[in-house]
C-alpha cells in the first residue's frame, strides 16, 4: 500500500541524510532506533 511505501522511503531518506552528516548523526539515529525498539512500537 502507499503508506508502507512512504514509510520505507522516509526511512531510506533519513539514513542517507544521516550518512552524509557523519558519525554523530548515525549515533543519534541508532539511539532513536533503540528507543523505538524498546517501546515495542511497530513502525512500517
Structural contact between residues 44 and 9, judged by C-beta atoms closer than 8 angstroms:
no
Distances (CA, A) of 16 to 4, 10, 33, 39, 40: 19, 10, 15, 24, 25
| Structural domain includes residue 44 | no
In a domain, 18, yes or no: yes
Measuring CA to CA, how many Å separate 38 from each of 9, 20, 27, 31, 41?
Answer: 23, 27, 16, 10, 8
pLDDT band at 43 (very low <50, low <70, confident <90, very high): low
Which residues span the domain enclosing 11? 2-38
What does the pLDDT look like over 5-40, one tens digit per residue? 998 999 899 888 878 888 887 788 888 889 888 998
Domain count along the chain: 1
- Whether residue 32 is contained in a domain is answered as yes
Amino acid at each position: 500500500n502507499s503508506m508502507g511505501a512512504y514509510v520505507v522511503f522516509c526511512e531510506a531518506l533519513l539514513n542517507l541524510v544521516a550518512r552524509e552528516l557523519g558519525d554523530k548523526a548515525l549515533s543519534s539515529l541508532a539511539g532513536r532506533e533503540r528507543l523505538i525498539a524498546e517501546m515495542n512500537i511497530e513502525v512500517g
